[in-house]
Amino acid sequence: MAISQWIQALQDITWPEFLQPHVEVLLLWITWSVDYIDFDYLEYLLWLLLPFIIVFVLPIFLVFFIYGCVIFLHIYGLRHQIREAYHTSYWNGARVAIASFWDGVGSVWHGYELHGLENVPDEGAALFIYYHGCLPLDVYYLISKLVIHKKRSLHCVGDKFIFKIPGWRPLCKMFSIMAGTVEECTAQLKDGHLLCIAPGGVREALFSDPNVYDILWGKRLGFAKVVIGSRAPVIPMFTENCRESFRTPEWGRTFFRWIYEKTKIPLCPIYGGFPVKMVTHLGKPLTFDYDNVTPEEVRRAIKREVRSLIREHQKLPGSIIRGIAQRFQSRTKEQSSAEEIELLHQNGHHNGHIATIDADDETTDRTLGRDHEEIEEIGGL
């Protein structure tokens, strides 16, 4: 009776003309629900199943609460760094607090480790060039490690669509994420900042094959021009299992890529959140003869180093189950190296991806006929 009176009250209201049709449809749906759905039976089922809900659902919430406490304790363990940061600046304090949270998330959910932190300078510029996973969680974790352990902020180049997401702009500003041009990135490095760029950008994030971790840089030269213009050392970077935590479905990948190439809108669906082991490897800094080297040579050298990190540290083909199992086992470099090479070659012979990995920059991604990529596009998060 109360619901019927409420529906009648809504019908008596004079709605704006543009809203009236929508209200009528809504009231029709509500009326149908009241007439045809037996709420007494639903209440009976709720009471009948309540013991099972308590038995099976509450333990899940309990696990989440426990992990929440673990993350809180992780942050509390860094309270001195947070307090010190707040003494210098409220924004810096907020940055350290957020970094502590993400450092805790990485430690709990992905068992995150960072190898090669000694290659990051305590002061002065450095450019990180990395392989882009489906979602850049490894970059979030790396930023957190650098803020906490090096007390340095890592500036990042992000895709332009990031800044159009409601509410994200303050966070991007705090962590120095920018849709940088070649000139802006060069200026950042000349000012002595740390900067990271993913030359593959969104294309590599969404459409790289997790079976082979193929590098989709195409003809992009913007990052190489930044290297030459800034004369900064380059730190190649790769994170194990970065394509196993989140993935894009194989079905419809060609269609979604066609949409992206035409509109630059990343409409490809993403699934995952799997707690795989993630280890970021930072290579030795690279320097060049900046007066004589060409952008093509810089790109080729950096790409070779990133590819080398992938081959050395990533088991192929990628596997979500194996990535989760790595959380519970010790690993040595000698284990199954011959098997990985054989799997890589088998996968290449079966689907042609081995040519994508070993091809020159000019022939990368030729399977889709993309020889029209932007020369100046840098890439990013």
Q: Give the pLDDT mean for 209-236.
A: 92
Q: What value does the CA radius of gyration of the chain take, rounded to a whole number of Å?
A: 25
Place of tokens 């950042």: 188
Host domain of residue 66: 23-109
Active site residue 132: yes
Q: Are residues 161 and 261 in the same domain?
A: yes
Q: Are residues 260 and 153 in the same domain?
A: yes
Q: Check whether 367 has a pLDDT greater than 50.
A: no
Residue at 58 is within a domain? yes
pLDDT one-digit tens code per residue, 153-174: 999 988 777 777 777 777 788 7
Residue at 375 is within a domain? no
Contact assessment for residue 222 and residue 148, using Cβ atoms and an 8 Å cutoff: no
Residue at 379 is within a domain? no
Residue at 256 is within a domain? yes
Within 8 A by CB and 6+ apart from 70, the residues are 104, 108
Q: Total domain count for the chain?
A: 2
Q: Are residues 254 and 360 in the same domain?
A: yes
Q: Residue 66 and residue 79: Cα distance in Å, rounded?
A: 20
Using the 3D structure, point to which of 56, 83, 109 is the last residue of a domain.
109
Using the 3D structure, point to which of 76, 109, 142 is the last residue of a domain.
109
Q: Residue 356 and residue 358: Cα distance in Å, rounded?
A: 6
Q: Are residues 120 and 145 in the same domain?
A: yes
pLDDT of amino acid 302: 95
pLDDT of amino acid 356: 36
Report phi then psi at 324, rounded to 5. -70, -40
Q: Are residues 151 and 81 in the same domain?
A: no
Q: How many Cβ atoms from other residues are within 10 Å of residue 198's Cβ?
A: 28
Q: Are residues 323 and 180 in the same domain?
A: yes
Find the range with the poorest average confidence among 66-75, 180-189, 218-227. Answer: 66-75
Q: Residue 242 and residue 229: Cα distance in Å, rounded?
A: 30
Report phi then psi at 128, rounded to 5. -90, 125
Q: Check whether 365 has a pLDDT greater than 60.
A: no
pLDDT one-digit tens code per residue, 227-276: 999 999 999 999 999 999 999 888 888 888 888 888 888 888 888 889 99
CATH assignment of the domain containing 126: 3.40.1130
Q: Are residues 208 and 308 in the same domain?
A: yes
The rounded percent of the chain whose pLDDT value lies above 70 is 83
Q: Residue 51 and residue 48: Cα distance in Å, rounded?
A: 7
Contact assessment for residue 204 and residue 137, using Cβ atoms and an 8 Å cutoff: no
Tokens of 300: 């080729």
Q: Are residues 97 and 144 in the same domain?
A: no
Residue at 93 is within a domain? yes
Residue at 14 is within a domain? no
CA–CA distance from 182 to each of 78, 189, 215, 262, 294 (Å)? Answer: 36, 11, 21, 24, 15
Q: Are residues 215 and 320 in the same domain?
A: yes
Q: Check whether 381 has a pLDDT greater than 60.
A: no
Q: Please give the torsion angle defined by the CA atoms of residues 327, 279, 355 and 317, in that order, rounded to the nearest 10 degrees.
A: 0
Q: Residue 126 and residue 286: Cα distance in Å, rounded?
A: 10
pLDDT one-digit tens code per residue, 325-359: 998 876 544 444 444 554 445 444 444 333 333 44
Within 8 A by CB and 6+ apart from 11, the residues are 27
Residue at 357 is within a domain? yes
Using the 3D structure, point to which of 66, 92, 109 is the last residue of a domain.
109
Q: State the pTM of this model.
A: 0.70
The catalytically annotated residue of 110, 115, 132, 350 is 132
Q: Residue 75 and residue 144: Cα distance in Å, rounded?
A: 12
pLDDT one-digit tens code per residue, 13-35: 887 887 788 788 888 887 777 77
Tokens of 232: 């900064």
pLDDT of amino acid 348: 46
Tokens of 180: 């940088």
Q: Are residues 143 and 92 in the same domain?
A: no
One-letter identity of residue 167? G
Q: Are residues 124 and 69 in the same domain?
A: no
214 vs 21, residue with greater confidence: 214
Residue at 336 is within a domain? no
Residue 69: band (very low, low, confident or very high) from pLDDT cuts 50, 70, 90: confident
Residue 3: band (very low, low, confident or very high) from pLDDT cuts 50, 70, 90: low
Find the range with the poorest average confidence among 70-74, 106-110, 202-206, 217-221. Answer: 70-74
Q: Are residues 136 and 198 in the same domain?
A: yes
Q: Residue 81 and residue 147: Cα distance in Å, rounded?
A: 10
Q: Residue 365 and residue 220: Cα distance in Å, rounded?
A: 12
Q: Check whether 307 has a pLDDT greater than 50.
A: yes
